A and B are shown apart, each in its own frame.
Chain A
Amino acid sequence: MTDDQQSDKAQADIDRSLLRAYHEVINEDLPDRFKVLLERLKQGEVPEAQNEDEKPSGSDEQQG
């Protein structure tokens, strides 16, 4: 196997593992806390932040 082939294989292995690990989490059932949270938000409640006491940030960064 040439160096290029080894390089391609190594990169493919890494990308495959990256995708697999990522999708393993995506495919997990969502914790109930998120369903509860969304219901509360729909009813007009705004829960306090879990880790911050700050004003919301980042929401002004619009993506196209």
Chain B
Amino acid sequence: MGDTSDPREQIVDHLGPMRAFALNLTRNAALADDMVQDAIVKAWTNIDTFEAGTNMRAWLFTILRNTYYSHHRKARREVEDVDGVYSSSLSQKPDHDGRLQLMDFQDAFSHLTDEQREALTLVGAEGFSYEDAALMCNVAVGTIKSRVNRGRARLAELMSLEEDEALEMTDAVTSGIVSSP
């Protein structure tokens, strides 16, 4: 027997990941929440285009990323955490273990391209397959793999520069990261 419940009731279960994805795209907490709000409204009013039984999170993420890129094109400028809103939110808990390391990571992450942050978030953080991520981004699977690998390599490079210790990234190491799946 099929599920007859309203799929819109499930949207709330995906809001946390949607906010995290939006924040990784925009690097601006206020803008991220605006993007999520717009995506919720679009999803709610277009729920008839959602196919029951398919991956709702992927559907919502697709709407969210399209919302972001639409806004991004209109703004015609890079959307960054210019006010330090997002960064400051991380510094509100200075006693947290590894806080500084996490801030270093966030700083390095912000230097990636939109596409690299998006691919790393979808595959590395959210756990989508390369194939699903490629569908969501409307690009080839190889393109997603390339973005993930280049993003990882760039992060490794940036973080090694920041840390000033250990992890001296040789060409061989960088090549190893780039060639890993």
Interface residues, chain A, CB within 8 Å of chain B? 3-4, 6-11, 13-15, 17-28, 30-31, 33-34, 37-38, 41, 46-47, 49-52, 54, 56-64
Q: Mark B145-181, 1 if CB is under 8 A from A, else 0.
A: 0000000100110011000000101101100110010
CB distance from A6 to the nearest CB of B (A): 5
A51 to B168, CA, bound (A): 43
CB distance from B55 to the nearest CB of A (A): 5
Secondary structure of the B contact surface, majority rule? helix
Once the chains bind, are B42 and A33 in contact (CB under 8 Å)? Answer: no
Contacts of B102 in A (CB 8 A): 17, 20-21, 24
Contacts of B37 in A (CB 8 A): 33-34, 37, 47, 50
CB distance from B131 to the nearest CB of A (A): 10
